[in-house]
Amino acid sequence: MKIVETRPLLTSSWCKFENIPLYKIQQIEYSFNAEDYDLLIFQSPSAAMTFDNLPKKYPFPIIGMGPGTIRELNKKNHKAIAPKKPNSENVIKLLHSINFKKALIIRGKEGLNLIENYLDSMGKNYQVCETYARVKLKSYSKVINQFSNVDGIIFSSVFAVEIFFSKVTKETRSFKFFAISERIKKSIGDHGQDSIVIDYFSEKLNEIIKSTLT
């Protein structure tokens, strides 16, 4: 059984299977200071890894999009909360129970704006800090060969899905596709392929994936 993941190199250190990155994370300059806000919202693990202006002790709430983001914040000795399911809609539900005057959303360039739209509709004060950009590889010729003899592919982002079907293969092959969210599953479906949504942080992930291949 050969399962591969498509995470960028920045987050590849905690891959559970072989990693074949389809894009890079490039840190970009920003001028935001966490101490100017009483709520921080990190939209991805990469956002947590590339935001350097987090003081050692931050007295206000921190929200992470999901377990991966929480993990990266914990590495910086910061506690954070996350919704039960990692998506913007569930982060918005969390916001209903938090009192704040000014929020900072930390994300990648051209990241999802559902949380912003919600804060706009509620008349909340917030700003957006973009700390990184996702950059395609210069060439995918070597990457294409790495996908030979692969049984299953785990996608952790829609961006990786789009690159895979545009740069790696346009043919229908016997890959088994796995998505870590419903949004990613939809993107795979838009390319005419079925996929299975998995709980990436499940202790039984290996057994779950293996059962789908037999």
pLDDT in tens, 44-93: 999 999 998 889 889 999 999 988 899 999 998 999 999 988 889 999 99
The pTM of the full predicted model, rounded to 2 decimals, is 0.88
38 and 105 both lie in a single domain: yes
126: β partners: 103
79 and 167 both lie in a single domain: no
Question: What counts of helices (H) and strands (E) characterise the chain?
Answer: 8, 10
Mean pLDDT rounded to a whole number for the chain: 91
Percentage of the chain beyond pLDDT 70 is 98
- Residue 33's pLDDT band (cuts 50, 70, 90): very high
Q: Which residues of 110-120 are buried (b: 16+ CB within 10 A; e: fewer)?
A: ebbeebbebbe
202 and 107 both lie in a single domain: no
Boundary residue ending a domain (77, 99, 134) = 134
pLDDT digits (tens, 9 = 90+) for 89-99: 999 999 988 99
Boundary residue ending a domain (109, 134, 159) = 134
Overall number of domains in the chain: 2
Segment 178-182 mean pLDDT = 93
Domain limits for position 12? 3-22+138-213
121 and 33 both lie in a single domain: yes
